Chain A
Amino acid sequence: MNLIIKMLVTLSIIGILSGGLLSQIASWAAPHIAHHRAEATKEAIFTVQPKAKNYIKIESAEIEAYKVVDADSNSIGYALVYEGSGFQGKIRLMVGLNDDLKTVNGLSILEQVETPGLGTKIVEDASNKEDSFWFPNQFKDAEYDPELVSVKGAEASKPNEIQAITGATISSKAVVLILNEGIEKLREMKNGGTL
């Protein structure tokens, strides 16, 4: 009996001490972590909307979306965060769109766990010495009309075509599919008046 009490007391004391210490550290770290998150979002928004000066989170939207304005507070469109399945895990990306939700202003991959050296070329392709960001850059000025399509082998010739990466077709296709789904959802919300 004595032993049981001793075991209980020991574990309780250790638990209480570690809980107390951790809550202290967590409350110190929380603002720093929130700050980094906000910084990362800000950087991504300015990448996908090069003319952006400021942005507001759209609270009424059920997905993460931002209204983006230029230096004179004129609306220049939206920035949408959307995610979907890639080759081996989630791909989370941000896309910048014009007000009409038709022209894409830019794309930034926020999170991905694609195959290193193959699927990761959707972020940066080191084998292309001239423009290692050629894949995400293709989305600049692409037209979502009727939707984006990925083409294999040939160069993209129409404004809604995106050339897939050789050796990373599935990852390239996944990005296009995620984009189509996200933009479609944003359109529905705009038509429904929640944007």
Chain B
Amino acid sequence: MSKKVTLSREFIKGLWDQNPVFKQVLGMCPTLAVTVSAENGIAMALATTFVLVFSSVIISMIRKLIPTQVRIASYILIIATFVTIVDLVMKAKFPELSQSLGPFIPLIVVNCLILGRQEAFSSKNGVLRSVMDSLGMGTGFLITLFILGGIREIFGSGTLLGITVMPSFYEPWVVMILPAGAFLVLGLLMGFANVYIERKKRLERIDYLSRLKSIEPVTSGQEAA
């Protein structure tokens, strides 16, 4: 039973505690470049998750066979294989999506989120655990890219997932779908995330200190600053 709990933890940690964008600040290039609309964000995150999960499976399976000196080269080969598969399948089955994501699909190869998870997790853990980790990271990435793409689409084009949400007199803010808009929205979101984390931490510390006080009131004085 205890193992089951930890497995779901591997998944859940990717959603917030180790969110790839807000907490690890990984995979910034696709995050900034493709989030002009919510749909693009979702497609990019799904493609990344696919590559992440399948590379994790392979790498955690053969992790003991790869000599450490060539592990990064091997990971990149495996990752590149899956990225090319995604690229070809997209071109064959979803030509419009493939055109709007353009060169950013092949660039998943060098997305540090994927290599980072392989190096930090899959190379040290079993298959099941690695899959849970990748799915969690992928979902975290998906949620973040959807929020970012959604905000930019609503303000930049007045639509969400192609459906008009803003009143007709609303003049779209063009800057939101330009690269500058990506930095603005990401910066603000990260700022809010940090404010939230700081507040939570402070509350926890106050809670901890007050508990400490009730046992030993003298030591808490230094922490006041």
Contact = CB atoms under 8 A, between A and B. Distances in A.
A3 interface: yes
A18 B88 contact: no
Contact of B74 (A10, A28, A117): A10
B58 to A, nearest CB: 9
Given A29-B91, A117-B174, A22 B67 contact: no
A118 B156 CA distance: 12
B187 interface: no
A117 B89 contact: no
Chain B interface secondary structure, helix, strand, loop or mixed? Answer: helix
Contacts of A118: 174
Contacts of B95: 33, 36, 40
Contacts, number: 64
B67 A3 contact: yes
B4 interface: no
Contacts of A40: 95
Contacts of A154: none
A31 B169 CA distance: 46
Interface string B153-170: 000110000000000000
Given A29-B89, A117-B172, A21 B81 contact: yes
A116 B177 contact: yes
B93 A10 contact: no
A18 B74 contact: no
B70 A7 contact: yes
A18 B77 CA distance: 8
Contact of A18 (B80, B89, B92): B80
B225 interface: no
Interface string B80-100: 110011001101110100000
Interface residues of A, number: 23
B107 interface: no
Nearest to B69: A7
Nearest to B36: A116
A170 B77 CA distance: 43
Contacts of B85: 21-22, 25
A188 B73 CA distance: 53
B66 interface: yes
B209 to A, nearest CB: 51
B120 interface: no
A25 B88 contact: yes
Nearest to A8: B70
A33 B92 contact: yes
Given A21-B81, A22-B81, A11 B88 contact: no
A167 to B, nearest CB: 9
23 contacts: A3-B67, A3-B69, A10-B65, A10-B66, A10-B67, A10-B70, A11-B70, A14-B77, A15-B77, A18-B78, A18-B80, A21-B85, A25-B84, A25-B85, A25-B89, A29-B89, A29-B91, A29-B92, A33-B92, A40-B95, A116-B36, A117-B177, A126-B172
Interface of B: 36, 65-67, 69-70, 73-74, 77-78, 80-81, 84-85, 88-89, 91-93, 95, 156-157, 172, 174, 177-178
Given A18-B80, A18-B81, A29-B92, 13 more contacts: A10-B66, A15-B77, A21-B81, A21-B85, A22-B84, A26-B88, A33-B88, A36-B92, A36-B95, A115-B178, A116-B156, A116-B177, A126-B172
